[in-house]
Chains A and B, each alone.
Chain A
Amino acid sequence: GAVVSQHPSWVICKSGTSVKIECRSLDFQATTMFWYRQFPKQSLMLMATSNEGSKATYEQGVEKDKFLINHASLTLSTLTVTSAHPEDSSFYICSAQIPQGVGELFFGEGSRLTVL
């Protein structure tokens, strides 16, 4: 079964509004979660590393004021796309590692954002 759950699966919003996406680890605590972005027909690009209780670490070129990440608990990380514009339309997918395993990432179902 799923170990990482993401919500919402899809969202449509008007340009200029903000959208929040939630990522939850199920049945395990995740001190670190990862947010990826995927454009159609393209690969996943890491946006940021979400750290529980501290600031997120953003990859080069990712606007931290545009993509706000909060990791307030050991099972929940949120990504807020602020003042969304059509170019922010994308597939956003979060991931976490389970404590056991070889270090593979388990991914949420992904959230498809469309900004009109």
Chain B
Amino acid sequence: AQKITQTQPGMFVQEKEAVTLDCTYDTSDPSYGLFWYKQPSSGEMIFLIYQGSYDQQNATEGRYSLNFQKARKSANLVISASQLGDSAMYFCAMRESLTDSWGKLQFGAGTQVVVTP
């Protein structure tokens, strides 16, 4: 069964606008971590932000923030003030601490973001 679901295959966003990338997850593990990665066309995976299942506050990292709604099992990424350099594929990932070995991440299908001038 799909553990991480990203329903948006692609999105266009205008420069300086904010964009929200959806991510829902499925787990029965009470302890888990949620990650967002950015993959530009060059291929490298860039870590953006992390949210732990027990974290009380939503994670923020510069222009990135994570809208964590635990009851709904969603962990949407918000990118504020989009820049042309934000054009990339974005992946949501989860680590279930009880069932996965430390470090094993399960990735969603990804959302391609294109920022337009």
Contact = CB atoms under 8 A, between A and B. Distances in A.
A43 B52 contact: no
The A interface is mostly helix, strand or loop, or mixed, namely strand
Interface in A84-103: 91, 93, 95-97, 102-103
Interface string B56-95: 0000000000000000000000000000000000010001
Contacts, number: 61
B105 A105 contact: yes
A109 B43 contact: yes
A103 B95 contact: yes
Interface in A37-93: 42-46, 49, 57, 91, 93
A104 B50 contact: yes
Interface residues of A, number: 24
Interface residues of B, number: 23
A46 B110 CA distance: 15
B35 A104 contact: yes
Interface centre among B42, B46, B104, B108 (most CB of A within 10 A): B104
Nearest to B52: A102
